[in-house]
Amino acid sequence: MTRALVLGGGGVTGVAWEWGLLAGLAERGVALAEADLVVGTSAGSMVGAQLCSGRAPEEAYAGQLAPPHGEVAARFGLAEMAKLVWAGARRDPVRARARIGAMAIAARTPSEASRRTVIEARLPAREWPARRLLVTAVDAHSGEFVVFDAGSGVSLVDAVGASCAVPGVWPPVTIGDRRYVDGGMRSPVNADLAAGARAVVVLAPTAAAFGPMPRLAAQVAALRAEGARVAVVAPDAAAREAIGRNVLNPARRAAAARAGRDQAATVAGDIAAVWG
């Protein structure tokens, strides 16, 4: 493995910001779509699945600019974050995630079937792509961290749905006799899954970690200690303003996408130096 692209979580605005960055970077000759490995967590799993299935960044960026007619904003603000922090207030990370999973199972949310229809509609392909794609999730019962790939025996729709199942907002995804929630409950980025790559680019709409979650800085330090070149991009001040406080508000999507594309101009040189 030579080059890895890590796509972190961040809601619908995170999806938009990542596509803006990817399109802006491609415009400047930095083709992150050529990654040998793509790691996707939550929103990043959706972007990663689309990218690996052949969706062009420019096309995806244009889609983010469309008015969100008929789309309802879910709520994920300070109150929702506080609930997760409380549920995950355990020193043991697995036990903390199991508490979050129990909260997610008990929460009132839309049906699994309706949510699966939404996820399926957003994917350009239903089969796992030929490019190596890792999709992260958490077992809601045990709290164990799970990584799905083409050899896992799980459909791409279910894997992405599980990774995007924000606890308390969307229903846990049933796969076999288990239920799964957002991979961001282990880490909002999970950059350590890129271990072994010589060049790693991390797009992190949010790097906020709480409780026993591994911190992005520590994951990046470990990658560099192994000899990898690593570049990390988080939203700049303009992008943070465009995203706003509710990352699940589709009304902010277009602004977030434009902010990501604008930001690409300022980070392209650093990313190109890493990407090679």
pLDDT digits (tens, 9 = 90+) for 34-89: 999 999 999 999 999 999 999 999 999 999 999 987 676 676 555 555 566 555 55
| Active site (annotated) includes residue 36 | no
| Active site (annotated) includes residue 158 | no
- What domains lie within the chain, and their CATH numbers? 3-72+108-275 (3.40.1090.10)
Cα dist from 39 to 11, 13, 200, 244, whole Å: 16, 18, 10, 25
The 10s digit of each residue's pLDDT in 91-107 is 789 998 999 999 999 98
What secondary structure does DSSP assign to 162-204, as a single string? HHT--TTTSPPEEETTEEEEEGGGT-SS-GGGGTT-SEEEEE-
- In whole angstroms, give the CA distance from residue 201 to residue 182: 22
Active-site residue (options: 42, 45, 163, 187): 42
Residue 102: helix, strand or coil by DSSP? helix
Active-site residue (options: 45, 139, 163, 182): 182
Q: Which residue has the higher pLDDT, 169 or 209?
A: 169
Q: Which residues contact 246 (CB under 8 A, 6 or more apart)?
A: 11, 73, 75, 76, 77, 252
Name the pTM for this structure. 0.94
Q: Which residue, among 273, 216, 258, 227, has the nearest Cα to 13 in the 3D structure?
A: 258
Query: Which pLDDT belongs to residue 88?
Result: 54
Residue with tokens 């050529």: 34
196: left (phi over 0), alpha (psi -120 to 50) or beta: left
- Which H/E stretch holds residue 139? strand 132-139
The 10s digit of each residue's pLDDT in 110-147 is 999 999 999 999 999 999 999 999 999 999 999 999 99
- In whole angstroms, give the CA distance from residue 102 to residue 86: 13
Strands 173-175 and 145-148, sheet pairing: unpaired
Over the range 96-110, which residues count as b (16 or more CB within 10 Å of their CB) and which as e?
bbbbbbebbeeeebe
